[in-house]
Structure 1
Amino acid sequence: MAQVEIEFKNLLTETEFERLLSSYSFASPFQQTNYYFDTPDQQLKQQHCGLRIRRFSDHAEQTLKQPTEKVDPSQHQLIETTDVLTLAQARTKEIQPHGEVAAALKTRGLNVTDLQLFAEATTTRRIASLAEGELTLDQTTYPNGHVDYELELETSQPQLAQTFYQRLLQRFQIPPRKVTNKIQRAVTNHIN
């Protein structure tokens, strides 16, 4: 299934994370582990794409994120193509050769057999459902022990969400910070 993802993102300090956590009604936290893939010569990175397997406690999925024409440069907007996987498939840590992800890779001139696992990270995620969208707080741990914190607001109403998001940053005195994506952060914090 392919869909457009519109998000507003910001990295947080641990203190900012804790303040936001205590200010909204978040659902119970859950954990997910992401395994990131590319070709040895980084063809996905060159095409500004990301590919992962995401494993939860009871299910898994593989997702290809591809760039789209941005309407607003302040928005993080991608096309996500996702296939549902079994936990057994996810444990192989290999992209499955059938489904929409494999088909989308093929249109980009890539073969599933050319992909390799190059990084991973485990995230504890908390989500609050708001009128403006899903407010998400992520605490991500990397293989080298580094931990980072991230705020996301995923929405289908970008104008309403942008206003809320800007006010949220102002209210909690959180400076806008450039966000490198989790794939890049996982590579930086990977143990070789």
Structure 2
Amino acid sequence: MAQQLEIEFKNLLSKEEYEALCTTFAIPNEDFHEQANHYFDTADFRLKKAHSGLRIREVQNRFECTLKEPAAGIGLLETTDLLTEEHVNAVLNGATLKADEVDIRLKKLQINPSDLQLLGTLFTKRAEIKYNGGLLVFDHSRYLDTDDYELEFEVTNEETGRIIFEEFLAKHSIPIRVADKKIARFMAAVNKKRG
């Protein structure tokens, strides 16, 4: 189990901006990896109401469950447990999630793991590069009938990170576009599809 503070800046990109950045930074295809994020909440969306999110991520034969909660001050508190592939497959087929440290945090939110339901899956093709003391993340995500492109900048200092990120966007003539979390974009697409 690990807990960490996540401080990141996000910006939605057009497909053309995304491709231009990948070309500018000469990111080879082999540097991209595929990941699947399976999102969960209760039937009455108690996690969403607590401004939190729960996912199981599959990436390169690694399976981890992460609960993201608002942190005091800036950023998000992430609590992560490693899971086995067998347990993930069982959970995706209706079994109750068992993730020791995440379960402790869920109980503090008064959420029983047996109440969690799979909302759906978002697939992302991702590359990461170090940049000015942070990590630039290039994401192309697919969910429902949607393709979106996003740039993230993960940092340890909010103030410095914001300045570097905004200067980066200006340097590459990319307008600042507010980017919700992936789970929020995914849920907006689900709600749109439901009508």
On whether the aligned pair clears a TM of 0.5, the verdict is: yes
Please give the secondary structure, in 1, of the residue aligned with 2:173: coil
Counterparts of residues 46-85 of structure 1 (less than 5 Å): 46-71=49-74, 77-85=75-83
Q: Which residue of the partner structure matches residue 189 of structure 2?
A: 189
Matched to 2:81, the amino acid is D
- Between the aligned partners of 2:88 and 2:134, the Cα distance in structure 1 is 29
Q: Which residue of the partner structure matches residue 101 of structure 2?
A: 100
Q: CA offset at residue 48 of structure 1?
A: 0.3
Structure 1, gaps ≥5 residues long? 72-76
Moved over 4 A (4+): none
Do the aligned partners of residues 19 and 98 (structure 1) sit closer, same or farther apart at CA in structure 2, a change above 3 Å counting? closer
Aligned 8 A contact 1:133 1:157 in 2: no
- Between the aligned partners of 2:44 and 2:167, the Cα distance in structure 1 is 42
Higher helix share: 2
Do the aligned partners of residues 49 and 109 (structure 1) sit closer, same or farther apart at CA in structure 2, a change above 3 Å counting? same
Is 1:159 matched with 2:164?
no
The TM-score normalised by the length of structure 2 is: 0.89
Q: CA offset at residue 26 of structure 1?
A: 4.2
- Between the aligned partners of 1:178 and 1:103, the Cα distance in structure 2 is 32
Do the aligned partners of residues 81 and 134 (structure 1) sit closer, same or farther apart at CA in structure 2, a change above 3 Å counting? same
Is 1:42 matched with 2:45?
yes
Please give the secondary structure, in 2, of the residue aligned with 1:170: helix
- Between the aligned partners of 1:25 and 1:156, the Cα distance in structure 2 is 25
Q: Which residue of the partner structure matches residue 74 of structure 1?
A: none
- Between the aligned partners of 2:72 and 2:123, the Cα distance in structure 1 is 30
- Between the aligned partners of 1:126 and 1:82, the Cα distance in structure 2 is 21
Aligned 8 A contact 2:132 2:164 in 1: no
Please give the secondary structure, in 2, of the residue aligned with 1:97: coil
Q: CA offset at residue 156 of structure 1?
A: 1.1
Identity %: 36
- Between the aligned partners of 2:99 and 2:72, the Cα distance in structure 1 is 27
Structure 2, gaps ≥5 residues long? none
- Between the aligned partners of 1:8 and 1:98, the Cα distance in structure 2 is 28
Q: CA offset at residue 90 of structure 1?
A: 1.9
Q: CA offset at residue 59 of structure 1?
A: 1.1
The CA deviation string for residues 16-68 of structure 1, in whole angstroms up to 9 with x for no partner, is: 11111122254710011011111101100100000000111311100000002
Q: Which residue of the partner structure matches residue 125 of structure 2?
A: 124
Please give the secondary structure, in 2, of the residue aligned with 1:164: helix
Q: Which residue of the partner structure matches residue 91 of structure 1?
A: 89
Aligned 8 A contact 2:8 2:155 in 1: yes
Aligned 8 A contact 1:132 1:160 in 2: no
